[in-house]
Chains A and B, each alone.
Chain A
Amino acid sequence: MENSHPIVEMRNITKTFGSTRALRGVDFTVMRGEVHALVGRNGAGKSTLVSALSGFTSADTGAIRISDTRFEATGQNYAALIRDDIAHVQQTPRLFDHLTVAENLFIENPLIRKKFGVISHKSMLARATALLNEWNIDIRANAHAGELDAGTRQLLEIIKALSRGVPVMILDEPTAALSNAEKRVLFEHVKTLKNAGISFVYISHHLDEVFEVADIVTIMRDGQVVKAREPVGTLDVETIANLMMGEETVRSAREDHTDKSAPILLQAKGLRVNKFATADIDFEVRRGEIVALAGPVGSGKEDLAMILAGQKKPQSGQVTSPRGTLPTIGFVPTDRHASGYVGILGVRENVSVGGLDILSGPLGFIKGRKEADLVAQLARLTNVISSSLEQPVSQLSGGNQQKVVFARSLCRSPDVIVALSPTRGVDVGAKEQLYALLRDLASKGLGVVVVSDEEDEIEQLANRVTIVFGGKIVDELVGDYSIKDLILHMEGVA
């Protein structure tokens, strides 16, 4: 493995969106065969930098070289120049829902093209099936991409990029939607390819992953590099977090606001969460408690949460409330791109759409003042960074989009919050802020249900962990437990 030869060199890159200077003179170098982690808080400019590298968005100025292709950026599109040098898995999924898995994997791929641009369906299906097997993905190659869950979609994107055989790969938060098992498979592939001389730019807010796969770390803040090419061995999680945030971030601890005699807010009786479920689920949420639903992907934990939130009909059974009417529920969906935000609308409209009923008067007209105040307050609570509250959410950085979705769920002053992967893509600092917010809400008597794949997140938040497997509740952890207990209990089913 030769590590001394740069395959990517970016010099003095700038990029401005309207009044936002997303990149202000960034230098970035990647060596052959290295996994280079790019970290930084939400809106630091990571996605913009790698998009400038892959040509997905064109840099305004600066010099770029990728393997043998070198050019000066002028704001003109240069993606075509470097098509065969680089592949980019974006933070926002870009699969074609109406095409099959195989078609998605091999779109514009020379391997399956015959004369006159005719595509060989047989070889495409065969190759796709082989790839899916290799990655342990249990779906048909001719299934439609639109039917797949977020994790599988994310994996498909990665596989598609990796199978293009280019020397430089960009993975922008590839694990955000992946289960632990899927992560393992991904890391294996990354390591194999790295040993074959492929270079990776790896963006993630999971710093433990950075230590697991990366060789080199570059830290960005406010459109600039604050630490370039540090070997991962010389760093630790705290140092990275502090450099990223520009201030001390403290990992906060769980708080207990539960009370055994607190009234039940939401009660599920005899639920069958999906058609594969073989047992009934009984479940309740009390005032002041934070419950986490854990378990492997496909276990039914997300179905259970969706049913509790009234977003999905159960196979059988029902959700009731002892008070009669169901409580107001704030909902954070699992896939923010599909069902979280309305990209062309601004932050204000996206947040207030969650609470149109409480924001409007008797005739249904929205009270402008009240809306502006509430949205500004929620945006501050959830730490949304945007150039103004009118900025279209499609223009926000990934983590900030997630915060907008979170803010939306709080808009109706809910009694219960059901949040699926609530901090997906959110930086360490903002995460702590959201955790503090949830704890505060619990202390005020709300019930919180969190679905998460992150043990840390569960351990920092949940007073009760319900482990779901095969559509039924198989285990429960209450009160004082350590992250080790949690992992042991979860392994028990995996």
Chain B
Amino acid sequence: MSVQADTTSNSNAQDTGPSKLSAFGSAFVAQGFTMFPVLLLLIIVGAFVAPAFLTSRNLINILEQVSVLGLTTIGLTFVVLIGRLDLSLEGVVGFAPMLAAVMLVPAAAGGYGVELPGWMALFVALGAAGLIGLFNGFMVVKVGLNPFISTLGLLVLLRGGVLIISNGRSIYSPGEALTYLGSAKILGLPVAVIVFVVVATIVGLVFQFHRYGRALYAVGGNEEAARAAGINVDRVIWSAFFFAALLSGLAGVLLTGRLDSAVTTQGQGIIFSAFAAAVIGGVSLGGGKGTIIGVVSGVLLIGVINNLLTLAQVPSFYVQASTGAVIIIAAVLTTVASQRSSGVKTRT
């Protein structure tokens, strides 16, 4: 098969040749860059409004803050790409590190007295998260439940589960083994940020260039077609739930590290921000569409807005409402942009 790649040879006779500008526009939107100009604008505005904004300390601070949301959103993107959703991720963010904490700390500090060695901390947290993901996959693939209801149930269950295993008390200073990732710094750069960047890069590459990523998009776009093409659809669904929960567990560990405690209310409300970030980033809730570049832009946008509002000393109740308003505006922007550029209507 030594045929030269020549994409234009199939081109329709009635084509006038795609204009460079519109082709660039489509690619820009399709790859998930839509929000970056907005982000840039916000940063410029921010620099004028709050002098403290454009300092490297503040910027690193923003990155550190968004790393938890970022990992959760990347996790969520796995399931959203296949046209499903997973509300229980929020529960995982709280449950996984709490379980590790109670297994680690002595009874006097609220633990079970098992006092596992430190190296087990990550293993327990991520192991629990992974198992939860497999359970979700089982419910959807084998039992055939709608993921909305099965993961909603699990979310409530995990919230209660956190209270049960911790006896209703937060665990402070659960030990460096569990808090390292979320609190340590290397050359002034928080490890959490490094973790986020590394995960985002790997997942981004997998989505774009790996056959597993291709399978995710195909299953999300048309499950039956994916099956007929020879993709093991059940395995893809199952694994998507697994990775989603795993990354949320990692997000939980980072959060525990940053707070230096496993808090009983940890992660509450994060699933809303994660959905918002995903949609702003151009991920279609109908499945089959979305990129990690977009997801990262969505996460950054939410982070920057929160930071700006705080720096501008907007009263805290206004912060929440304004974030909501901005989310809606941003979602409108991405949706319109993607319709304009591709002509394909997506259900966001």
Q: Nearest-CB distance from B197 to chain A (Å)?
A: 20
Q: How far is the CA of A440 from the CA of B22 in the complex (A)?
A: 40
B226 touching A353, Cβ below 8 Å: yes
Segment 339-379 of A: residues with Cβ below 8 Å from B: 339-345, 349-350, 352-354, 356-357, 359-360, 363-366, 368-369, 372-374, 376-377, 379
Nearest to B222 among chain A residues (CB) is A342
Q: How far is the CA of A345 from the CA of B222 in the complex (A)?
A: 10
Chain A contact residues, majority secondary structure: mixed
B346 touching A373, Cβ below 8 Å: no
A376 touching B210, Cβ below 8 Å: no
Nearest to A367 among chain B residues (CB) is B209
B15 touching A20, Cβ below 8 Å: yes
Q: How far is the CA of A94 from the CA of B15 in the complex (A)?
A: 29
Q: Nearest-CB distance from A465 to chain B (Å)?
A: 25
Segment 380-402 of A: residues with Cβ below 8 Å from B: 380, 384-390, 392, 394-395
> Interface with A: B5-13, B67-75, B172-180, which one?
B5-13
B229 touching A353, Cβ below 8 Å: yes
Q: How large is the interface on B (under 10, 10 to 19, 20 to 34, 35 or more residues)?
A: 35 or more
Indicate which residue in B11, B12, B222 contacts A341 across the interface (CB closer than 8 Å): B222
Nearest to B4 among chain A residues (CB) is A373
B11 touching A349, Cβ below 8 Å: no
Nearest to B6 among chain A residues (CB) is A376
Q: Nearest-CB distance from A412 to chain B (Å)?
A: 7
Q: How far is the CA of A389 from the CA of B6 in the complex (A)?
A: 10
A363 / chain B contacts, CB cutoff of 8 Å: 210
Q: How far is the CA of A344 from the CA of B7 in the complex (A)?
A: 19
B227 / chain A contacts, CB cutoff of 8 Å: 311, 339
A345 touching B218, Cβ below 8 Å: yes
Q: How far is the CA of A344 from the CA of B15 in the complex (A)?
A: 21
A18 touching B22, Cβ below 8 Å: yes
B284 / chain A contacts, CB cutoff of 8 Å: 344
Q: How far is the CA of A379 from the CA of B19 in the complex (A)?
A: 23
Q: Chain B 209-244 against A: per-residue CB contact (8 Å), 1 yes, 0 no?
A: 111101101100110111111110000000000000
Indicate which residue in B9, B12, B205, B226 contacts A376 across the interface (CB closer than 8 Å): B9
Indicate which residue in B7, B19, B224 contacts A389 across the interface (CB closer than 8 Å): B7
A343 touching B222, Cβ below 8 Å: yes
Segment 1-27 of B: residues with Cβ below 8 Å from A: 1, 3-19, 22
Nearest to A306 among chain B residues (CB) is B228
CB contacts between A and B, total, < 8 Å: 142
Q: Nearest-CB distance from B18 to chain A (Å)?
A: 4
**Given A349-B218, A408-B229, A380-B10 contact (CB < 8 Å):** yes
B343 / chain A contacts, CB cutoff of 8 Å: 17-18, 395
Q: Nearest-CB distance from A18 to chain B (Å)?
A: 7
B231 / chain A contacts, CB cutoff of 8 Å: 353, 356
Indicate which residue in A311, A341, A342, A394 contacts B217 across the interface (CB closer than 8 Å): A342
* A22 in the interface (beta carbon within 8 A): yes
* B289 in the interface (beta carbon within 8 A): yes
* A425 in the interface (beta carbon within 8 A): no
Nearest to B9 among chain A residues (CB) is A380
* A222 in the interface (beta carbon within 8 A): yes
B230 touching A354, Cβ below 8 Å: yes
B214 touching A352, Cβ below 8 Å: yes
A340 touching B225, Cβ below 8 Å: yes
* B282 in the interface (beta carbon within 8 A): no
Indicate which residue in B18, B19, B218, B225 contacts A388 across the interface (CB closer than 8 Å): B18
B230 / chain A contacts, CB cutoff of 8 Å: 331, 354, 412
Q: How far is the CA of A3 from the CA of B16 in the complex (A)?
A: 40
Q: How far is the CA of A412 from the CA of B17 in the complex (A)?
A: 31
Indicate which residue in B14, B18, B218, B226 contacts A22 across the interface (CB closer than 8 Å): B14
* A445 in the interface (beta carbon within 8 A): no
Indicate which residue in A18, A19, A349, A388 contacts B7 across the interface (CB closer than 8 Å): A388
* B288 in the interface (beta carbon within 8 A): yes
Q: How far is the CA of A368 from the CA of B13 in the complex (A)?
A: 27
A379 / chain B contacts, CB cutoff of 8 Å: 10
A356 touching B214, Cβ below 8 Å: yes
B209 touching A366, Cβ below 8 Å: yes
**Given A222-B13, A344-B288, A353-B218, A339-B224 contact (CB < 8 Å):** yes
A43 touching B1, Cβ below 8 Å: no
B221 / chain A contacts, CB cutoff of 8 Å: 342-345
A349 touching B214, Cβ below 8 Å: yes
A341 / chain B contacts, CB cutoff of 8 Å: 222, 225
What are 19 contact pairs spanning A and B, CB under 8 A?
A: A18-B343, A19-B18, A20-B15, A21-B15, A21-B16, A331-B229, A333-B224, A333-B228, A342-B288, A349-B218, A350-B225, A353-B214, A353-B218, A353-B226, A365-B205, A376-B4, A377-B3, A387-B18, A395-B343
Chain B residues in the interface with A (C-beta under 8 A): 1, 3-19, 22, 205, 209-212, 214-215, 217-218, 221-222, 224-231, 284, 288-289, 342-344, 346
The 6 closest A-B pairs by CB, nearest first: A342-B221, A339-B224, A356-B211, A377-B3, A342-B222, A372-B5
